[in-house]
Amino acid sequence: MTEQPSWPERRIRTWYRPMRSRDSGEHHRVATPLELLFDLCFVVAVGQAASSMHHALAEGHAAHGVLSFAMVFFAVWWGWLNFSWFASAFDTDDVPYRLATLVQIAGGLTVAAAVPSAFEGDFRLMVIGYVLMRLAMVFQWLRAARSDPGCRPAALRYATGIAVVQVLWVSYLWLPEGVRLAAFALFAVLEMAVPVWAERRRGTAWHPHHIAERYGLFTLIVLGEVILSATNAIKEGTAEPGHTGALVSLAAAGLVLVFGMWWLYFDRPGHARLVRRPTMFTSMSWGYGHYFIFASVAAVGAGLEVAVAYDTGTLHLDGVAAAFPTTIPVAVFLLSVWLLHIGPTNECRPIAIGFPVAAVLVFAASFTPAPIHVAAALVAALVVVTVVATHGRPQP
């Protein structure tokens, strides 16, 4: 008697299946290997954005570097976010779905390749990659509209809104230089308004635990990119004699800083707020608010590279200016985690006030002789406060 293939095997062998909405209460809903590959490809663009900002900061072009980073990171983040929420509701994992995801990955890698030119003001390749990602999403939403009558109105609104905004992004390339920044802000707002419009009545059945896991995994990957950037910078710095002690000390502080950020982000389950308050405002604010978490984590990598260059004497900035690229992102990270995972009205008073207080003190650390070390110590102290305030006594 021939053994019947298991459900996962039958699922993979089916080349096409109607795109039905998945159960939002599905058990054991975890990230798929395709989603993990998608994240790894997109983190290349994150690394390119952080590296380009580091070069801009090192050359003394702080305002230009930060603004360019924010614009480039929006393209990366928004492409990732839309794929993740769609996959949470409609992941059929058939051949058309995988091929559409391949197109999105190609668009993401094109965006990554376009980062250096975008920092120089040339957004042509960036727009090509971005529009490629978004048109693949239009195809996915049209599939969902065709196969799932219950979600058809929302899916058609998504497809229409995305397509219209892509026309605007293409027109961006022909706008006068003086109005491009305002146009970018307007088009970005319109992009973020599409889900609000599409989900206003009967929305999609995304899975809160799956979404929280996806966001957590991307946070981990971006933290890994920070460690990689700092490691490469320190390796280059040790090639110059006489700086080993300072770089070892900086490496230790950077490691404590990154580990503390990891601890604070994952200390509270990411899905808790989504499950406790399953409203559109909660999901939108939580999902959109992670822009500041992802961007601030990525910026810490650039800041640590600046700190290494300062300690080795290859960066001609004063101590405060060299500290800001690390301390400001860490402060933004603490405030963002506080607002999204904890909240000002948290019943645990020590951490309800601990995060904003720590954020202010981390920023103030910029004016101390050892800003990265002080910032690391403050983050570590906040971890201790969080552990003491929220964890029970050890079991005997």
| 127, 139 contact by CB (below 8 A) | no
Q: How far apart are CA 134 and CA 75, in angstroms?
A: 10
**Both tokens assigned to 92:** 């059929």
Q: Domain map of the chain by residue range?
A: 30-198, 208-390
Pick the CATH number of 208-390 from 1.20.1410, 3.20.20, 3.30.43, 1.10.10: 1.20.1410
Average pLDDT over residues 99-109: 96
For residue 46, the model assigns a pLDDT of 94
For residue 20, the model assigns a pLDDT of 81
Q: How far apart are CA 207 and CA 212, in angstroms?
A: 9
For residue 395, the model assigns a pLDDT of 42
Greatest mean pLDDT among 229-243, 249-263, 337-351: 249-263
Q: Residue 29: helix, strand or coil by DSSP?
A: coil
DSSP state letters, 151-168: GHHHHHHHHHHHHHHHHH
Backbone Cα Rg of the chain: 22
Residue 115 has pLDDT above 70, yes or no: yes
Percent of the chain at pLDDT > 90 equals 60
Structure confidence by residue, pLDDT tens digits, 173-207: 999 988 999 999 999 999 999 999 998 877 788 88
Residue 148 has pLDDT above 70, yes or no: yes
More confident residue, 352 or 291: 291
Residue 2 has pLDDT above 50, yes or no: no
Residues in Cβ contact with 238 at an 8 Å cutoff, skipping those fewer than 6 apart: 244, 247
Mean pLDDT of the chain: 88
More confident residue, 10 or 221: 221
For residue 268, the model assigns a pLDDT of 79
Q: Helices in the chain by DSSP H: which ranges?
A: 7-13, 33-58, 62-90, 95-119, 124-147, 152-172, 180-198, 208-237, 244-266, 272-276, 280-311, 319-337, 349-364, 371-390
For residue 220, the model assigns a pLDDT of 94
Q: pTM (2 decimals)? A: 0.90
Percent of the chain at pLDDT > 70 equals 91
**Both tokens assigned to 174:** 């022909």
For residue 201, the model assigns a pLDDT of 77
Q: How many residues does the chain have?
A: 396
Average pLDDT over residues 108-135: 95
